[in-house]
């Protein structure tokens, strides 16, 4: 397989060549597209990928997953409650950890359709591997891409993109999940050893990659009485920050191969140049990332639905009862049809939303929330249908059906619960039709 990093320059040749032609010689449709490339949500010089680019990427990820994320590796990660050792550098070498990052810091300079493809295909192989991947590449790397200074990007991005360091985002607390503004973690101005900065105190809960993270984007209150206007985002290096600890690694129902932990900050000093975005502007950093987080994570359930079909379809056409493959019975066909239709409808919604972000630069909150809302609930349903169609084999650990179900359920809870997503969509409507009140 040709390296994705090696292929990327070839994928951009046509667009780069067109940029140097006189504008009068370009087709009007291309001129229209050129006006849309300058998006604050995309890397420098971003060109929306062609269907051929995306298909080539999908094949690359599928080949990587077949080789590096086998069923044996996925099952062991679930059983051992740990991420497969050595996979981070391999993901970095393949080019997957910097999909949406600038090329001058090692990224591929691609967009959210590409990110969704990697997320979907990794989830098809292992839901937990993909979840940790998303926490690293979307919640951490992409936040640095969108809000980091050139100096911050130069320092942190190469290692994160190469898989030499592991990234995470720390927002939620035991008493501040959906109501993030009620967080209690604080950051107070301080000078330590002649360096100006902030001292963090508090804790964060349910942090994906937390037990292993080297770089964490942490949200804390710098003006406790200012509500959403008093939150700041910080870049914390865990290995060189005295006072930082992972209090415990959580033992979860699903996504067990994705380490999740409770993080403690006891007078952790963070230099002033580690503020991500603007001081007291953390809510903007957070909210601007939430829509894209939901969009990319919505591809996780797609991969899990495909995985459910991957194990169910062969089984029901091999398993015979009354001398007939059970897949020929109409009630079984009905469930299969529902599974397939739910997967295809969810995929269409996710990629239509991602394509609009890539091609117009516009992000519609209701569609980012809607895509993951719909896909997450359908994935749980498909996993249950898979177990039912597999019968007794679906209920034993010899088959991955139970793992798919346990992994799928997380998407109805993480990145904002299904209930919160419905509220988000409703609030968009309230705002749109406020003039009628």
Q: What is the distance between the alpha carbons of residues 198 and 222, in angstroms, rounded to a whole number?
A: 9
Torsion of CA 65, 66, 69, 72, to 10 degrees: 160
State yes or no: pLDDT of 5 exceeds 70: no
162/178 same-domain check = no
86/208 same-domain check = no
Q: How far is CA 171 from the centre of its chain?
A: 15
State yes or no: pLDDT of 214 exceeds 50: yes
190/79 same-domain check = no
Catalytic: 293?
yes
**Which residues form the domain of 305?**
298-436
State yes or no: pLDDT of 105 exceeds 90: yes
Q: How many domains are there within the chain?
A: 3
Report helix, strand or coil for 41. coil
Is 329 within a domain? Answer: yes
pLDDT for the residue 227: 84
Q: What is the distance between the alpha carbons of residues 304 and 122, in angstroms, rounded to a whole number?
A: 9
- What does the pLDDT look like over 223-277, one tens digit per residue? 988 888 899 999 999 999 999 999 999 999 999 999 999 999 999 999 999 999 9
26/153 same-domain check = yes
- Angle at the Cα of 419 (from 100 to 180), degrees rounded to 5? 65
Tell me the pLDDT of the chain averaged across its residues: 90
- What does the pLDDT look like over 215-226, one tens digit per residue? 999 999 999 888
Q: 258 — phi, psi (to 5°)? A: -110, 105
282 pLDDT tier (thresholds 50, 70, 90): confident
63 pLDDT tier (thresholds 50, 70, 90): very high
State yes or no: pLDDT of 108 exceeds 50: yes
Is 286 within a domain? Answer: no
Is 190 within a domain? Answer: yes
Q: What is the distance between the alpha carbons of residues 274 and 151, in angstroms, rounded to a whole number?
A: 10
Q: What is the distance between the alpha carbons of residues 412 and 106, in angstroms, rounded to a whole number?
A: 33
Enumerate helices (H) and strands (E) in the chain, giving the number of each: 15, 10
State yes or no: pLDDT of 21 exceeds 70: no
State yes or no: pLDDT of 10 exceeds 90: no
Q: What is the distance between the alpha carbons of residues 45 and 182, in angstroms, rounded to a whole number?
A: 38
Let me know: does 163 contact 107? Beta carbons within 8 Å. Answer: no
State yes or no: pLDDT of 29 exceeds 70: no
pLDDT for the residue 321: 92
Smallest CA-to-CA distance from 302 within 123, 78, 111, 60 is with: 123
Of the residues 293, 377, 381, 412, only one is catalytic, namely 293
């Amino acid at each position: 397989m040709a390296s994705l990093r090696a292929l990327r320059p070839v994928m951009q040749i046509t667009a780069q060549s067109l940029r140097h032609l006189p504008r009068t010689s370009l087709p009007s449709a291309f001129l229209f597209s050129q006006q849309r490339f300058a998006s604050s949500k995309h890397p420098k010089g971003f060109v929306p990928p062609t269907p051929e680019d995306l298909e080539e990427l999908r094949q690359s990820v599928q080949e990587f997953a077949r080789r590096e994320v086998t069923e044996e590796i996925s099952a062991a990660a679930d059983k051992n409650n740990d991420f497969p050792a050595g996979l981070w550098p391999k993901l970095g070498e393949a080019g997957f950890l910097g999909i949406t990052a600038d090329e001058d810091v090692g990224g591929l300079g691609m967009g959210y359709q590409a990110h969704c493809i990697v997320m979907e295909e990794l989830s098809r192989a292992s839901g937990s591997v993909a979840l940790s991947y998303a926490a690293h590449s979307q919640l951490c790397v992409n936040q640095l891409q969108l809000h980091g200074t050139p100096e911050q990007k130069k320092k942190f991005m190469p290692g994160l993109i190469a898989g030499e360091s592991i990234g995470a985002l720390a927002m939620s607390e035991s008493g501040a999940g959906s109501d993030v503004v009620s967080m209690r973690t604080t950051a107070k101005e301080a000078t330590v050893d002649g360096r100006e900065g902030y001292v963090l105190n508090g804790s964060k809960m349910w942090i994906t990659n937390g037990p292993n993270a080297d770089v964490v984007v942490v949200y804390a209150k710098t003006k406790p009485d200012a509500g959403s206007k008093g939150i700041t985002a910080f870049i914390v290096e865990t290995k060189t920050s005295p006072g930082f600890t992972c209090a415990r690694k959580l033992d979860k129902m699903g996504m067990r191969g994705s380490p999740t932990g409770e993080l403690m900050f006891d007078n952790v000093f963070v230099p002033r140049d580690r503020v991500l975005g603007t001081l007291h502007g953390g809510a903007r950093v957070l909210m601007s990332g939430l829509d894209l987080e939901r969009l990319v994570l919505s591809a996780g359930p797609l991969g899990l639905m495909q995985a459910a079909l991957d194990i169910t379809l062969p089984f029901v056409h091999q398993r015979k009862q009354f001398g007939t493959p059970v897949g020929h019975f109409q009630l079984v066909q009905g469930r299969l049809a529902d599974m397939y239709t739910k997967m295809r409808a969810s995929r269409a919604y996710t990629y239509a939303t991602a394509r609009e972000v890539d091609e117009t630069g516009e992000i519609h909150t209701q569609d980012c929330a809607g895509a993951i809302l719909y896909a997450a609930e359908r994935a749980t349903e498909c996993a249950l249908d898979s177990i039912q169609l597999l019968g007794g084999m679906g209920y034993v650990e010899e088959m991955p059906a139970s793992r798919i179900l346990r992994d799928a359920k997380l998407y109805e809870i993480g990145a904002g619960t299904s209930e919160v997503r419905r509220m988000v969509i409703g609030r968009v409507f309230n705002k749109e039709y406020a003039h009628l009140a």
